[in-house]
Copies of this chain bind each other. A is one copy, B any other.
């Protein structure tokens, strides 16, 4: 062990790769964001990841640092033991891509692969909002909704590495169709994509909304940020959509509490920008539904590592994998 040691953490997203050098204490010493401009084919992404690793290795050498290991967090179903991306919503057509094997010739340190939401959750546990708690659950609320479950300090992966799919908990059995095939998943209501779709539906039904001018009259261009902006100005459609997101998020959090009794629920991702609108509704719902003795003991907070939780967590998981 030496303070020259450093880890590479990579957050492999659908349109960008975030990467950094992270110390053993979870501090980011370098951080880069690369746009995935060259396409999302398997070969392109692997080539790109090699370049990212090279960049970071060069930075490490320059800083007189030694790379201990690298961690990659990717959306999708991951076979951690084999280092394989089984399927990923970010990369259509990818099936059983043996990422670790494909990268191993170009690196001389171990590579750890995990799900992106698990990585973000572990980042928040390691050095973020959940630093002082034993167990916490993290929801990453962006395009979709990812989940990471930390029990007694470790990510709970499930018996086959597929657990933590909090976005695909049924919160309303008769709700609208989700991309996963189910109906009434949390993701349908509380992801940016879900909220945008729900706002569009209301406008199509004839509701007046500030979102129409905000999107330049083309409602296919409505974004999560526009919904927030319009809500600030009192737009009813936006407030309805955020209200519904809060309600179903609250139901989900209540279920998680009664089931797993964690000390904390951490919310991260772009949707949390609208915290002031959905969170009071969500908290009310939690109070209504979870056991009072549990509610009293569970904090509901925003993540403390915006944009970086995934990078830090992937590095932390890689470090942990060395130790076990």
Contacting residues, chain B, for A290 (C-beta < 8 A): 182
In this assembly, does A312 line the interface, its C-beta being within 8 Å of a C-beta of chain B? Answer: no
- Given pairs A173-B247, A182-B254, 10 additional interface contacts (CB within 8 A): A135-B158, A156-B260, A160-B261, A160-B297, A162-B297, A168-B258, A170-B254, A181-B292, A183-B289, A259-B259
Interface centre among A157, A171, A247, by most chain B C-beta atoms within 10 angstroms, is A171
Across the interface, do A291 and B158 meet the contact criterion of CB distance under 8 Å?
A: no
Given contacts A135-B159, A159-B297, A251-B173, contact A258 B165 (CB under 8 A): yes
In this assembly, does A1 line the interface, its C-beta being within 8 Å of a C-beta of chain B? Answer: no
Q: How many subunits of this chain does the assembly comprise?
A: 2
In the complex, A156 Cα to B133 Cα: how many Å? 16
Across the interface, do B288 and A182 meet the contact criterion of CB distance under 8 Å?
A: yes
8 A-B residue contacts at CB 8 Å? A149-B260, A151-B151, A160-B297, A164-B261, A169-B255, A170-B289, A173-B247, A182-B290
Indicate with 1 or 0, residue by residue over A265-296, a CB within 8 angstroms of chain B CB atoms: 00000000000000000000000111111100
In this assembly, does A61 line the interface, its C-beta being within 8 Å of a C-beta of chain B? Answer: no
Contacting residues, chain B, for A90 (C-beta < 8 A): none
Interface centre among A170, A172, A255, by most chain B C-beta atoms within 10 angstroms, is A170
B173, B251, B261: the one contacting A159 at CB < 8 Å is B261
- Interface residues in A52-101 by Cβ distance below 8 A to B read 77, 86
State how many residues of chain A have any CB contact under 8 Å with chain B. 49
In the complex, A10 Cα to B164 Cα: how many Å? 34
Interface centre among A183, A261, A297, by most chain B C-beta atoms within 10 angstroms, is A261
CB distance from A153 to the nearest CB of B (A): 11
In the complex, A292 Cα to B256 Cα: how many Å? 22
Contacting residues, chain B, for A162 (C-beta < 8 A): 261, 291, 293-294, 297
Q: Who on chain B is nearest to A178 by CB?
A: B289
Indicate with 1 or 0, residue by residue over A167-203, a CB within 8 angstroms of chain B CB atoms: 0111111000000111100000000000000000000
Indicate with 1 or 0, residue by residue over A109-151, a CB within 8 angstroms of chain B CB atoms: 0000000000000000000000001110000000000010101
In this assembly, does A13 line the interface, its C-beta being within 8 Å of a C-beta of chain B? Answer: no
Q: Who on chain B is nearest to A167 by CB?
A: B258
